[in-house]
A and B are shown apart, each in its own frame.
Chain A
Amino acid sequence: MIERYSRPEMKSIWSEDSKYASWAEVEKAHLSVLIETGEAPAEVLSIFDNAYKSKSPSDYLAREQETGHDVIAFVAEVGDSMGDKGHFLHKGLTSSDVLDTSLSLRTRKSLELITNSLQKLRENLTKRAFEHTNTVCIGRTHGIHAEPMSFGQVLASHFSEFQRAHTEIINAQKIMSFGKLSGAVGTYSQMTPEFELSVLQKLKLQPEAVATQVIPRDRFVTVASAILSATNAVDRFATNMRHWARTELGEVLEPFGKKQKGSSAMPHKKNPILAENLCGLARTIRGFAGMLSENVALWHERDISHSSVERMALPDIFVTADFMLSRCANLVEGMQIRPEAMQANLWKSGGLWASQSVLTALVTSGMNRTEAYELVQSIALEISGKVATNQINKKQFLEDLLQNKKVKEKVGSDKLTGLFDTDRYLRSLPVTFKRVFGITPEEYNRKNSEAIQNKVPALQKIIKVTVELLPDVLDTEAKTIANDMRLSGNAVIDMRQQKCFFIRMPGNSNPDCMDKYASEVLYNPVIEQFKVEVIQ
């Protein structure tokens, strides 16, 4: 964890203190269930609390010098302070039961912080995209002018990528909501699956269906890949940012402080250093993700080769990704978008970007496609050779086309002139924005006074509550429908119906309240079961 690339909240999750705290959380849940099942007296919890409070990481580290094993050191230190109740601590557990279950807790919490940083970034991108729906810039493929487009759409494309990353992160949270207390090789030799379930329920985790000594490491690869989708999105945005900021373009500039300096030697410099930093950090994330994917193939029921890798890669991947997303959010918020530079650049190629429209107009007028293509190309290439040396007029392409008798005759000068109107390239914008954000620019402006995380559907939190009848309650409707499916010739074995509630909340709200509401109202425990998921 590099100090300058970390933020305190995420850093604290991966501190030594938090590590021990998360172990304590699991040990405490284990003790609570021992009490519930009558195996330990009720006072064990407070005895544990006091013992744990009296210790600090340095005590565990000192003990580890003797034991050479971190969990044993922790259990021994706390257990000794619990006096004659010490033997209840960690009873029947293997170290990985505590280590991996607590690691799931910390990973899930970290992913939640990542979603918060992503939320801010997505909000900022949304604001800037809607600000610039009518800002026309040149779209470039291969770095070469292609066709005009709205700069808002450029940002919408970046937003959409972050939106996908957001979904991936949410899924990763689900993938990491698993714990294990199944013992040395996952066979429950010291306790039962029911006991494990009770402990894990207290931690809001599900039991790993079949664990080895550890939770399978492919889960962490899924997490790394979700983080990658976010940081790669940052990488693409930052790369574009660096291009936009180049002297020849100057279309978008990084925020530059009054006392900021660009270069120790050249006072004129305003460098896109934030974006460059982000591109660099994105490379480190790809490295950490690679490291974590090396961890899947452990020997038999587990070896410990993954541990050293995780001690480095997990804190670093989270702390760095969190820093990147937050820095990128600030960059998006503060970047200076310069429509006038975009206009200037757009016309630098003399309107060549209209070539396809001219081609289409010629073909529509009845000209053979190959003939038309070659005609337009010959006029265009004449111009494109001179673009870099500024030897052409703003609408050179139009002028040259009008000079060409054949083109003028076939298409007509009014129509030709019309093809150079850039507004034509903004027509699909409402549809695209509706697809990406769930709201058109017009609707967005109409709801001017509403907070962005409320009015933009893509930024809202969506919670899905699924309610279904318990497996042994007869689902009469489903049975009737299933019969009809069979009668229609489908090999249907069974069918059950579910009821889904899709709840939209402001993007920054905490979905836990819906857990409570669903458990109190949306389902009836006598006949139904339910599941609450965040799906956006």
Chain B
Amino acid sequence: MKKTLLPVFPGTNCEKESLLWIADNLESKAEFLDLSKHSTLKADDIDAIFVPGGFSYGDYLRAGAIAARSDEMAFVKKRAVEGVAVLGICNGFQILCETGLLPGALVKNITRRYHHFPVSIRIETAYINKSNSNKKCVWIPEFNENEQEEVQKEFTTEFSVPMSCGMGNWIAPVNESDKNIAENNAVIYYNHNENGSYKSIAGITNQAGNILGMMPHPERASDSAVGGVDGLIFLLGISQSRNIKIRAGSELEKFAEKIKMGRTH
């Protein structure tokens, strides 16, 4: 079984639920990244890397700035360039931007407040719909144009995932061409843009589509017992694109069954 690695920094506080999110739902060995054990792992030994949320190094300087310069992120960067799937949630997203793996930067929410509530988001249709072959992201499942229409409709119009951030306002790169590329790679949008992000962008991928960063926390919307399973869509995506088996009896298995039948609930 390949591994899914989760880098943890001083201040990370979503690592446990993030680890369980992977371990409970996928046939992948989820482990906290430990360079003394993992530094020799090749791209082929790794299913994915998940940079979880919380804080890192007090978020001194800028959110994620110090973590971005850590040995752990140097490792992540190397593997990411080789094509390993990477997901960054919240502080993980900020770290990915600071590392330069994703474009742009995150600043204080426009409301000047800490946002801790579910937000309504949508996935850009082109990513979820197979017919558009130049927009792909390993974390988003793909459906044929006329299949699972209800599912496609829901996820491309509105679903709800909790948010928990003070610095969730995504700013696009200054340079025009970088800005256009970044905009073109926007995967997830806010419906109400609570944070004030540029063009309501909530999550973006890189040109290759193997790295996804987003502010809302899908790992917190993945258990029917605690309010919704819509966050599982991203795990469905990675299991599909990277051929990772879904764990029997898991929430994800139930979720995938329903999706297969064209239902979301």
Known A470-B174, A474-B110, A522-B61; 16 more pairs at CB < 8 Å? A469-B107, A473-B107, A476-B107, A476-B109, A476-B112, A477-B108, A521-B65, A521-B69, A524-B62, A524-B98, A525-B174, A526-B171, A526-B173, A527-B105, A527-B107, A527-B171
Inter-chain CA distance A469–B62, complex, in Å, is 12
Q: Can you name the residue of chain A whose Cβ is closest to the Cβ of B166?
A: A476
Which of B107, B169, B172, B196 gathers the greatest number of chain A CB atoms within 10 Å? B107
Kindly list chain B residues whose C-beta atoms are within 8 Å of the C-beta of A476. 107-110, 112
Inter-chain CA distance A474–B198, complex, in Å, is 12
Q: Give the dominant DSSP class at B's interface.
A: loop
B104 CB within 8 Å of chain A? yes
Q: Kindly identify which residue among B62, B65, B105, B196 contacts A474, using a CB–CB cutoff of 8 Å.
A: B196
Which of A470, A479, A526, A527 gathers the greatest number of chain B CB atoms within 10 Å? A526
A247 CB within 8 Å of chain B? no
Q: How many residues of A contact B (CB 8 A)?
A: 14
Identify 15 residue pairs between A and B in the complex whose beta-carbon atoms are under 8 Å apart, listed by A's number: A469-B107, A470-B174, A473-B107, A474-B169, A476-B107, A476-B110, A476-B112, A477-B108, A477-B112, A479-B112, A521-B69, A524-B65, A525-B174, A526-B171, A527-B171
Which of A477, A479, A524 gathers the greatest number of chain B CB atoms within 10 Å? A524
A480 CB within 8 Å of chain B? yes
Which B164-187 residues sit within 8 Å CB-CB of chain A?
A: 169, 171-174
Bitwise, B75-109 to A at CB < 8 A (1) or not (0) is: 00000000000000000000001100001110111
Inter-chain CA distance A476–B69, complex, in Å, is 27
Bitwise, A141-165 to B at CB < 8 A (1) or not (0) is: 0000000000000000000000000
Q: A476-B110, A477-B108, A480-B112 are in contact. Are A526 and B174 (CB under 8 A)?
A: yes
Q: How far is the CB of B179 from chain A (nearest CB, A)?
A: 10
Kindly list chain B residues whose C-beta atoms are within 8 Å of the C-beta of A525. 174
Q: How many residues of B contact A (CB 8 A)?
A: 20
Kindly list chain A residues whose C-beta atoms are within 8 Å of the C-beta of B61. 521-522
Inter-chain CA distance A473–B171, complex, in Å, is 8
Which of B97, B103, B172, B174 gathers the greatest number of chain A CB atoms within 10 Å? B174
Q: How far is the CB of A201 from chain B (nearest CB, A)?
A: 16
Kindly list chain A residues whose C-beta atoms are within 8 Å of the C-beta of B172. 526
Q: How far is the CB of B234 from chain A (nearest CB, A)?
A: 25
Q: How far is the CB of A418 from chain B (nearest CB, A)?
A: 56
Inter-chain CA distance A172–B97, complex, in Å, is 39
Q: How far is the CB of B173 from chain A (nearest CB, A)?
A: 5
Q: How far is the CB of A374 from chain B (nearest CB, A)?
A: 68
Kindly list chain B residues whose C-beta atoms are within 8 Å of the C-beta of A477. 108, 112
Inter-chain CA distance A106–B94, complex, in Å, is 44
Number of cross-chain contacts by CB at 8 Å: 38
Kindly list chain B residues whose C-beta atoms are within 8 Å of the C-beta of A522. 61
Inter-chain CA distance A521–B108, complex, in Å, is 19
Bitwise, A295-320 to B at CB < 8 A (1) or not (0) is: 00000000000000000000000000
Q: Can you name the residue of chain A whose Cβ is closest to the Cβ of B106?
A: A527
6 nearest CB pairs, A to B? A526-B105, A476-B112, A476-B108, A527-B105, A524-B105, A527-B171
Kindly list chain A residues whose C-beta atoms are within 8 Å of the C-beta of B174. 470, 525-526
Q: How far is the CB of A182 from chain B (nearest CB, A)?
A: 26
Bitwise, B141-182 to A at CB < 8 A (1) or not (0) is: 000000000000000000000000000010111100000000
Inter-chain CA distance A477–B166, complex, in Å, is 12
Which of A470, A476, A480, A525 gathers the greatest number of chain B CB atoms within 10 Å? A476
Kindly list chain A residues whose C-beta atoms are within 8 Å of the C-beta of B103. 526
Q: How far is the CB of B76 from chain A (nearest CB, A)?
A: 18
Q: How far is the CB of B77 from chain A (nearest CB, A)?
A: 14
Q: Can you name the residue of chain B whose Cβ is closest to the Cβ of A501?
A: B61
Bitwise, A474-488 to B at CB < 8 A (1) or not (0) is: 101101100000000
Bitwise, B237-249 to A at CB < 8 A (1) or not (0) is: 0000000000000
Q: How far is the CB of A525 from chain B (nearest CB, A)?
A: 7
Inter-chain CA distance A477–B109, complex, in Å, is 11
Q: How far is the CB of B190 from chain A (nearest CB, A)?
A: 17
Q: How far is the CB of B98 from chain A (nearest CB, A)?
A: 7
Whether the pair B65, A526 counts as a contact (CB closer than 8 A) is no
Kindly list chain B residues whose C-beta atoms are within 8 Å of the C-beta of A524. 62, 65, 98, 105
Q: Can you name the residue of chain B whose Cβ is closest to the Cβ of A526?
A: B105
Q: How far is the CB of B198 from chain A (nearest CB, A)?
A: 10
Q: How far is the CB of B64 from chain A (nearest CB, A)?
A: 10
Q: How far is the CB of B139 from chain A (nearest CB, A)?
A: 23
Q: How far is the CB of A475 from chain B (nearest CB, A)?
A: 9
Bitwise, A513-525 to B at CB < 8 A (1) or not (0) is: 0000000011011
Q: How far is the CB of B110 from chain A (nearest CB, A)?
A: 6
Bitwise, A450-473 to B at CB < 8 A (1) or not (0) is: 000000000000000000011001
Q: Can you name the residue of chain B whose Cβ is closest to the Cβ of A520?
A: B69
Kindly list chain B residues whose C-beta atoms are within 8 Å of the C-beta of A526. 97, 103-105, 171-174
Q: How far is the CB of A262 from chain B (nearest CB, A)?
A: 62
Kindly list chain A residues whose C-beta atoms are within 8 Å of the C-beta of B97. 526
Q: How far is the CB of A91 from chain B (nearest CB, A)?
A: 28
Q: How far is the CB of B255 from chain A (nearest CB, A)?
A: 36
Inter-chain CA distance A524–B169, complex, in Å, is 15
Q: Can you name the residue of chain A whose Cβ is closest to the Cβ of B113?
A: A476
Q: Can you name the residue of chain B whose Cβ is closest to the Cβ of A525?
A: B174
Inter-chain CA distance A526–B171, complex, in Å, is 7
Q: Can you name the residue of chain A whose Cβ is closest to the Cβ of B108?
A: A476
Kindly list chain B residues whose C-beta atoms are within 8 Å of the C-beta of A469. 107
Kindly list chain B residues whose C-beta atoms are within 8 Å of the C-beta of A521. 61, 65, 69
Inter-chain CA distance A470–B105, complex, in Å, is 12
Q: How far is the CB of A172 from chain B (nearest CB, A)?
A: 32
Q: How far is the CB of A179 from chain B (nearest CB, A)?
A: 25
Inter-chain CA distance A525–B174, complex, in Å, is 8
Which B15-31 residues sit within 8 Å CB-CB of chain A?
A: none
Which of A469, A470, A522, A527 gathers the greatest number of chain B CB atoms within 10 Å? A527
Kindly list chain B residues whose C-beta atoms are within 8 Å of the C-beta of A480. 112
Inter-chain CA distance A458–B98, complex, in Å, is 36
Inter-chain CA distance A527–B105, complex, in Å, is 7
